[in-house]
Amino acid sequence: MIVKNASLDVVCGYTSKLPEFDVPEIAFAGKSNVGKSSLINGLMNRKSLARTSSSPGKTQTINFYDINGELHFVDLPGYGYAKVSRTEKEKWGRMIERYLRSSKSLKCVFLLVDIRHDPSANDVMMKEWIDAVGLKCAIIATKSDKIKRSQLNKQLSAIRKGLSLPQDAKIFSFSALKKTGKEEILEYIDEVIN
């Protein structure tokens, strides 16, 4: 898959009606500060279309990015950010769940996990949600440039175990800095939507 054109199409808040598109959707979920915006920008060949921030919890809406006029990347709000009120967290949770349950065009959810850490309770809960709705899920282990190459397989195994993934589950390691994993992820998206 080659991304030629990418633009922010629709932004949805808590009360917004979710859009219905005729093109496939690929969603990205993960903890605040896991590198979701950096991954999406990397896949879109853009520096800052998806807003990145040094302070986590920046994405508080569901953002739909039009890719080549034939696909949407859907950036879901980050979860698990401590400095946000419980009420706010619950609103984000409901918004994410509403989207996962109601989208008729959603083909796959990429769950992003920081490769340096075991999956958190929130990551496990998110994976269980995705499974409960019956959606296809693939894992992206972000920030792979932050660990030694020799640690890669050990960390991927820990993520596999922490999320109770079957052996054939798709898991990609990605570095926004070095762009490693980008081609494999785009190829997989191609497979999923075709």
Each residue's pLDDT tens digit, 86-143: 777 677 778 888 999 999 999 999 999 999 999 999 999 999 999 999 999 999 999 9
- Confidence class for position 63, pLDDT limits 50, 70, 90: very high
Q: Answer for the pair 88, 127: CB distance below 8 angstroms, yes or no.
A: no
Supply the pTM of this predicted model: 0.92
**Is the pLDDT at 72 greater than 60, yes or no?**
yes
Average pLDDT over residues 29-37: 91
List of residues 6+ apart from 181 with CB closer than 8 A = 140, 144, 172, 173, 174, 175
